C-alpha cells in the first residue's frame, strides 16, 4: 500500500534551537515536515535487508511507515558573516506537488525569532539547486520575484546552474516546477548571484567542499571555529537509512554511483567530535556520526538549546 505524501508546518510556539560550533552559532529553521512513502526515495527498498526494529526505522525518522523528511534552512552566525545555508521551499510558488504548491508558511517569522532581519543576511549558500533548497531565495513583491535577502550574495557553482538550465534537466524541472525561473534567475537579474568554485573559501570560517553526484555541482559546506568542525551535507544523506546503508543513493540523485562515492568519503572524514548537519533529518537536528566495524554508521543527535 502506497503512503500518500503529507506535510505540516511547525507551530509558531515551537522553540528555535541553537547549536554552538566553537564561537559560531547555528539555528536549524524548519519550514515544513514532509512525510513520504519510502519507495518514493528508494524504489528498490523492498530488496534491502531493513531491520524494522533498528534505530533508523523508529520515530522520529519513520512516522506511520513514512520517511520523515523535514525541509528548511540553517542560519549560521560567525564573527564576520550572517549566512543562510539553503532556503527551503518558499512561499507563493506554483509547484506540481500539491504539498509544495503556493505555500504560506511562517518561516520568515522563525528567522526573525533568532533576532535576524532579512537585511542582516549577507550570504546565502546553496548546497545544490533542488526545489526544496532554493524557495525562500526570492519573494513575490509587486508581482515580481525579487531577492528575499536584499544585501546578500547568493552562491552556487557554475556546473550546478549549467546543468539545471540544460536540456538534460528539462524533465526533472517540469516534474518539480520551474523553480530555476522563479528562485534563481531573478537573483542573477538583480546582480546578487555569484558562481563560485566548488572549493571556494567564503570566509575565514566557512568554505565549500566539492561533492558532486547528487547533482553535478553539489557541494557540502564546512564550518570551522575555535577548534570545532561542522559539515552541512545537504542531500548527501537524505535520510537516516543512508547511515545504515551508506552505499544507497536516492532516486533524486543525478549520478547515483558518484553520489555514493561522495557520501562514503564524507562519512569517513567525519571525526568523533564533528557535527553533521543533514538537510532533512527530523527537526534539521545535527549529530555526531558513529562509525561501526561493519561499515555502517550510527547517529548521536545534538539538540543544542531552545531559545
Q: Does 235 fall in a domain?
A: yes
Asked, for residue 200, whether it belongs to a domain, the answer is yes
CATH number of the domain that residue 89 is part of: 3.60.15.10
From residue 11, alpha-carbon distances to 32, 73, 109, 217 in Å are 10, 16, 11, 34
Distance CA 127, CA 140 (A): 23
CB 119 within 8 A of CB 150: yes
The per-residue pLDDT for range 174-225, each reduced to its tens digit, is 889 999 999 999 999 999 999 999 999 999 999 999 999 999 999 999 999 9
Whether residue 307 lies inside any domain: the answer is no
Pairing of strands 219-225, 24-36: unpaired
Q: Which helix (H) or strand (E) holds 6?
A: strand 6-8
Burial of 199 (0-12, 13-18, 19+ CB in 10 A): exposed
Residue range 283-300, pLDDT digits in tens: 999 999 999 999 999 999
Is position 304 within any domain? no
- Residues with Cβ within 8 Å of residue 47, at least 6 apart in sequence: none
Give the separation between CA 74 and CA 43, rounded to whole angstroms: 29
Residue 1 lies in a domain: no
Residue 1: is its pLDDT beyond 90?
no
Domain count, the chain: 1
Containing domain of residue 10, as a range?
6-299
Amino acid at each position: 500500500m502506497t503512503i500518500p505524501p503529507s506535510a505540516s508546518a511547525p507551530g509558531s510556539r515551537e522553540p528555535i534551537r541553537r547549536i554552538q560550533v566553537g564561537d559560531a552559532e547555528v539555528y536549524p529553521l524548519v519550514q515544513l515536515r514532509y512525510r513520504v512513502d519510502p519507495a518514493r526515495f528508494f524504489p528498490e527498498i523492498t530488496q534491502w535487508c531493513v531491520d524494522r526494529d533498528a534505530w533508523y526505522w523508529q520515530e522520529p525518522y519513520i512516522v506511520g511507515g513514512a520517511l520523515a523528511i523535514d525541509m528548511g534552512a540553517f542560519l549560521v552566525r560567525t564573527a564576520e558573516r550572517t549566512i543562510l545555508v539553503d532556503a527551503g521551499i518558499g512561499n507563493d510558488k506554483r509547484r506540481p506537488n500539491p504539498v509544495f504548491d503556493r505555500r504560506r508558511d511562517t518561516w520568515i517569522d522563525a528567522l526573525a525569532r533568532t533576532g535576524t532581519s532579512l537585511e542582516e543576511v549577507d550570504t546565502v549558500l546553496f548546497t545544490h539547486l533542488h526545489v526544496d533548497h532554493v524557495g525562500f531565495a526570492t519573494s513575490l513583491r509587486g508581482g515580481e520575484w525579487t531577492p528575499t535577502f536584499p544585501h546578500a550574495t547568493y552562491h552556487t557553482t557554475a556546473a550546478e546552474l549549467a546543468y539545471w538550465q540544460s536540456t538534460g534537466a528539462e524533465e526533472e524541472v517540469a516534474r518539480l516546477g520551474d523553480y530555476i525561473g522563479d528562485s534563481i534567475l531573478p537573483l542573477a537579474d538583480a546582480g546578487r548571484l555569484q558562481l563560485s568554485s566548488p572549493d571556494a573559501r567564503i570566509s575565514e570560517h566557512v568554505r565549500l567542499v566539492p561533492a558532486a553526484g547528487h547533482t553535478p555541482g553539489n557541494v557540502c559546506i564546512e564550518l570551522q571555529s575555535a577548534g570545532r568542525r561542522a559539515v552541512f551535507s545537504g542531500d548527501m544523506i537524505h535520510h537516516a537509512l543512508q547511515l545504515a546503508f551508506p552505499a544507497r543513493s536516492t532516486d533524486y540523485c543525478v549520478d547515483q554511483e558518484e553520489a555514493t562515492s561522495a557520501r562514503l568519503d564524507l562519512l569517513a572524514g567525519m571525526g568523533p567530535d564533528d557535527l553533521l548537519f543533514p538537510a532533512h533529518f527530523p527537526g534539521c537536528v545535527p549529530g555526531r556520526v558513529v562509525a561501526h566495524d561493519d561499515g555502517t554508521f550510527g547517529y548521536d543527535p545534538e539538540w543544542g538549546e531552545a531559545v
